[in-house]
Chain A
Amino acid sequence: MADFEIPELKDYVEVPLPQIGVMESEGPFIAKPDHQEALGFPGELVDDWENVAVNKLGDLANRYRGLRVFLDSCVKCGACTDKCHYYLGTTDAKNMPVARQDLLRSVYRYYHTPAGKVLSKLGMEKLIGARKLTEDVINEWYNYFHQCSQCRRCSVFCPYGIDTAEISMAAREVLDQIGVGQKYCNEIIGKVYKIGNNLGLPEPALADTLEGLEEEIEEDIGVAVKLPLNKKGADILLVTPSADFFAEPHVDGLIGYAKVFHQAGLNWTLSSHASEAGNFGMFIGSYENMQRVTMRIREAALELGVKRIVFGECGHAWRVAYSFLNTLAGPFDFLDPNYPVPQHILEVTHDLIQRGKLNIDASENDHMTLTFHDSCNVARATRMGPKPGGQMTIPREVIKAVCNNFYDMPQGTIGEATYCCGGGGGLLTDDLMEIRVKGAMPRMQALKTVVEENGVTHMAAICAICKSQFSKVIPYYGFTMDQIISVHQLVGDALVFEPDETEKSEESETSED
């Protein structure tokens, strides 16, 4: 099945001894010159790459307090060393969070700290773990900073909150600036600029797809649920990952959102200009690109004259939306001030359930026993609802409202300590299959536990990357890809539509306000 060893699932995750060089490689495919240039980066390795990289690192440390503090403060206590799913799955020493950080920190110490500057003159830089920037170091950065999904699990356990995600982002930004970008991320960002979404799905194709889905829903439930595109004057702009338009099981989630909006009588639309919730600008640590990608959403909201912005199920997209949208593309004073900007689709659905606006028959999902995978970026980088931790409770409350059989995976693998799916942070590409499969091990182990102990049949997810990643890697661990399911598929399947009720809900279109 694979040309590498697939980790064995035990009764619990054993912390391995660190091994040297297990995951040494050339890393993922390198971006071609036109991928690079579309994002404002040099097309290929620049001549004085050493100076450019060192200066860029200094520039970033001056612009990002987090990076500066994180590079200075680590005491090598080791609390993070057994927290990374990639370390647990690969055993490679450089996948321990602090060891990954040290790949960059060693160079920071050499060039940007007084101790490093003095000791390097005396040839004693090794004393403080500092090292000169060489071509080997660049290659090592490129390889190991593309074995980090920026999931922030390590930062939960760090006494100083050092977040390896920030270090990875900085390293990738430095690499992009010297002309060594990753093909997967940079090509995709280029597609967003050119076409509007990560998958390069142009407007006519998108319109066709949505029409096809409308027909499918009507055939299925006998109700004309619409998926409007570029509808001016709609109240809600739904921004969702483009995988929702046709990938499985994502598309069933999109159908779920549409059914919720329909039953609640909400007037919504998708936008072809902002037909992508994902923002890979974050993965590559580029403020400029992240902002440029984000601006499409503001532009679409203004053009369509909507009152609210709602995001579909996606982890890192929700991070950029929840934590950065206001910063990058705000202020959103032109939207309805009665709603947070942006909202998560689960916040909308949860609120409707709370207020009894949805007609639910949870027994529709009785053929399944569910567990829920907290997406790393949702759990540790965002919130839902008014209270801290709502990002954990709201999805569970929604699932429990539409499913009778639900069991959580073991403590320490969910909530703020959730394991990443293994495919986040720009790693969801076939050229990184080995790290993806191995990195999924801790989650797969937790899933195995509830499958065996509680008879769990399906794992629900709220992220396009998690869904794609799990569908792809889950067979390596003896499960089947249809065991991954969108939370809004569960919601959609449990909604009861009566033909006459449909009429009513359409009349009471503004009932939610």
Chain B
Amino acid sequence: MSFLTILFATLFYFATAVILIGVGFKIWQYATTPAPLKIPTMPAPITRSGVVVRMAEEVVLFKSLFKGNKWTWIFGWMFHFALLLVTLRHLRYFQEPVWWWVNVIQPFGMYAGYAMVIGLLGLLARRIFVARVKYISAPSDYLMLVLILAIGITGLAMKFISHTDIVAVKEFMLGLMYLDIQPMPTDVLFIAHLSLVILLMLVFPFSKLLHAPGVFFSPTRNQVDNSREKRHVADWALKFDETRKS
């Protein structure tokens, strides 16, 4: 087994562990941190099922962002849904046989690669050219966009510029899945693409990418408006109940 194969197999397993454990920990932390007061942004749904609808509108349509800024919404939505399609399309490198619907979305996934890059370029342009957004951007905010852009561009390049040996790539990935390590392809674009993806997996739990699990735990979006009907008290606040005079 070559050094390259051992290195990338190790990095891939390590990055997978980091993202799973890291994000898992944050989800556990969000789930177990109490929300002592009812703070939904009103008007808010008055039933649990209403909250499911509200959350779905946020996660699927980015409804609040749509209200907030149309350009950011267009680029942001384009990027995220292209990313979803592209990611689902990539499932075919991790399975044999390939699920039927993964085959169905293949052609869409290709175009999504372009949409993703266009969306990211739009977001980057806003960060650079809109003075307000520029003011609030830290270096990491640019780097994150550049990182994902580079992942998208190396991916597209493998498909449309310098075709990589996709059979070898799939053998390597399947090998990782079944703990039967196969040789890592030595195509430069693929090495770059996989390296960047590993980097993204490593920074995920330590960065603003936590917005992905975070949105589901946001009390302003996931609470039911029923404070008059149902008493809501956090565990840590119960002690105040006990010391009350009446």
Contact = CB atoms under 8 A, between A and B. Distances in A.
B64 A63 contact: no
B167 interface: no
Contacts of B220: 66, 155, 161-163
A40 interface: no
Contacts of B143: 127
A323 B68 contact: no
Interface stretch (B6-14, B98-106, B178-186, B205-213): B205-213
Contact of A380 (B42, B136, B228, B233): B42
Contacts, number: 223
Contact of B39 (A72, A127, A381): A381
Interface residues of A, number: 78
Contacts of B164: none
Nearest to B244: A295
B218 A66 contact: yes
Interface string B70-108: 001000100000000000000000000000000000000
Nearest to A341: B228
A77 B211 CA distance: 11
A63 B214 contact: no
Interface in B105-150: 123, 126-127, 130-133, 135-141, 143
A383 B225 contact: yes
Contacts of B24: none
Interface stretch (B26-34, B153-161, B190-198): B26-34
A161 B221 contact: yes
Contacts of A322: 227-228
Given A78-B72, A81-B136, A326-B232, 13 more contacts: A15-B132, A63-B236, A66-B219, A73-B214, A78-B132, A158-B65, A159-B65, A299-B245, A299-B246, A327-B237, A340-B229, A341-B228, A416-B42
A337 B30 CA distance: 35
B42 A379 contact: yes
Classify chain B: how many residues form its interface, as a range.
35 or more
Given A66-B220, A78-B126, A127-B140, A72 B65 contact: no
A478 interface: no
B45 interface: yes
A47 B218 CA distance: 35
Nearest to A130: B138
Interface in A309-363: 322-324, 326-331, 340-342
Contacts of A69: 30, 214, 217-219
Nearest to B236: A63
